[in-house]
Chains A and B, each alone.
Chain A
Amino acid sequence: MTFNTLNYSKMYNRRIAMRKGIGDAFYSLFLLSVLVGIIGLITLLVQVLTEGIPWLSWRFITSFPSRHPQEAGIFSALMGTIWLMGLTAVFTVPIGVGAAIYLEEYAPKNWLTRLIELNIANLASVPSIIYGLLGLTIFVGWMALGRSILAGALTLSLLVMPIVILASREAIKALPLTYREAAYALGATRWQVTKSVVVPAALPGILTGVILAMSRAIGEAAPVIAISALVYLTFIPTSPLDRFTVMPIQIFNWISRPQNEFRGLAAAGIIVLLIILLSMNALAIFLRNRYQVRTEV
């Protein structure tokens, strides 16, 4: 259809159909990109679930590893992971959030702080095995903590600290300046502004960073192998100075065995790991939403 209402429409070559066609082509391209990711994920999940579910049982969760697949379980690795995550969170959250607060609220903006910021961003992309070797040298060696949970947690804390710092800084930076000004104008000190206005308002973003960091930490095998070097563990740790193993190492070990049954055990281990990961994320999202409701509605 052509409208001839305007005399000067001949001065344009509008090609509306072609422009819309280009738009549609890009739309399809983007949709395809999303599908590649989703299909890949679904394939993985289906494969893991079909292999793993037959092996998943209460006995699997509460048994120690064994060379007989029918008796093997993930109990020591599960407990090791819980210990390691708990301690890592204890170190990472206060130090990471503290560093973010310092950089955003206190530090002068000069070349030194810019250098520090640049380094933190780079640290987030250093291969994790490097952290493992660093931890082995410093915590296991120099500080003589042994191949303990404590040494592992300190190493993982170093590894995921940049994630917490970066996410917290972004959350703090996103706060409108007007909140801070309002608090200062009422005679608040810098610490009062930080404690009563900045941190509560930035908490949802900070929590997101903590989720991301812990999700990264729970799946790490390489640095923990460097620290703990243990796979076959038939006791559960009772103190931070005990030796330990974690689920990714256990899963890795099972996968590398020749017998097929162990592949099933590995899949079952992956399912347990995924469940822990998803519940951790769910908890953090729940906390975040609850906090947002309290502050925004």
Chain B
Amino acid sequence: MQNSNYLYNSNILEVKNLNVWYRAFQALKEISLSIPRHHVIACIGPSGCGKSTFLRCFNRMNDLIPGTRISGQVLLDGQDIYNSGVDPTEIRTHIGMVFQKPNPFPKSIFDNVAFGLRINGFKGNIKEAVESSLRRAALWDEVKDRLNKSALTLSGGQQQRLCIARAIAIQPAVILMDEPCSALDPVATLKIEDLIAILKEEYTIVIVTHNIQQAARVSDYTAFFTMADDRSGILVEFGKTNEIFSNPKDKRTEDYITGRFG
């Protein structure tokens, strides 16, 4: 995979010895893994094992929570996003996020997608950019006649695809998805999963999911987290999804994916 003649590294994100504390509580302990470009990486594990905390390390959303402390490195294209000179606001324009509950702004459909473009001083044609984002999020045909209607008139599944359109409008390299289907019905879930399969051509996607089948369906790589005895989150196993699911190396992984635990 790695070509020693090139400085270009096929891993877009690298996590090295990552520890996260919320005040005195250690939420993540000694996490290291590499995320290859243009793939889907699923993070699975029981509730409270730190999957979401892990995801939020990539766009520094944990910075917003008072009392959070981090050690270790998170490299985006080889540069540590936790270096003192790095502005989290800039990181978030490279690494977008889709949340657990669809959270469109109480604004029009158009303004939701245009929001990120406007605040980031987009100099191109906003109308075209909004249309292309909505098309890539497989939502354009459903909303093209009512772009000025409030985003809250959309169904839950449509709202979540709108949030995806909003995230990709500012052309990030990575999209983080925090249980994006947990509030959706099976049909809407399937649409999002189809979308993920298409989006990975252009983006690297890190997805947290409680649904083991979903991880198996959408991801190329799977990271299994669990809780250590002190309740801090640890990475048990990381590898190609088909290998994790067909031939887990760790007993805890096997128990989890076969449904004996969690």
Chain A residues with a Cβ under 8 A of chain B? 108-109, 176, 178-179, 181-189, 192, 196-197, 200-201, 294-297
Contact = CB atoms under 8 A, between A and B. Distances in A.
A179 B103 contact: yes
Contact of B119 (A181, A196, A296): A196
Contacts of B167: 185-186
B66 A108 contact: yes
B116 to A, nearest CB: 4
Given A108-B66, A182-B163, A187 B150 contact: no
B115 A196 contact: yes
Contacts of B115: 183, 186, 196
Contact of B103 (A109, A176, A192): A176
A182 B105 CA distance: 8
Chain A at the B interface: SS class: helix
Contact of A185 (B97, B106, B120, B153): B97
B152 interface: yes
A201 B111 CA distance: 14
A179 B112 CA distance: 11
A185 B96 CA distance: 6
B61 A186 contact: no
A184 B61 contact: yes
A186 B107 CA distance: 15
The 8 closest A-B pairs by CB, nearest first: A178-B103, A187-B93, A186-B116, A185-B97, A295-B106, A187-B92, A182-B103, A192-B119
Interface string B84-118: 00000110110011010101111100000001100
A189 B92 CA distance: 10
Contacts of A189: 89, 119
Given A179-B103, A185-B99, A186-B96, 19 more contacts: A178-B101, A181-B99, A182-B163, A183-B105, A183-B115, A184-B64, A184-B92, A185-B59, A186-B119, A187-B92, A187-B116, A187-B119, A187-B120, A187-B170, A188-B119, A192-B119, A201-B105, A295-B107, A296-B152
B39 interface: no
A188 B89 contact: yes
Given A182-B105, A201-B106, A296-B150, A187 B99 contact: no
B66 A109 contact: yes
B90 A187 contact: yes
B199 to A, nearest CB: 16
Given A178-B101, A297-B150, A187 B107 contact: no
24 contacts: A176-B103, A178-B101, A181-B64, A181-B99, A182-B163, A183-B105, A183-B119, A184-B61, A184-B92, A185-B92, A185-B167, A186-B120, A186-B166, A186-B167, A186-B170, A187-B89, A187-B116, A188-B119, A192-B119, A200-B106, A200-B107, A201-B105, A297-B152, A297-B153
A296 B154 CA distance: 11
Contacts of B96: 185-186
Nearest to B166: A186
A262 B120 CA distance: 65
Nearest to A108: B66
B92 A186 contact: yes
Interface string B47-73: 000000000000101001010000000
A142 to B, nearest CB: 40
Contacts of B99: 178, 181-182, 185
Contacts of A297: 150, 152-153
Contacts of B116: 186-188
Interface in B149-200: 150, 152-153, 163, 166-167, 170
B105 A197 contact: yes
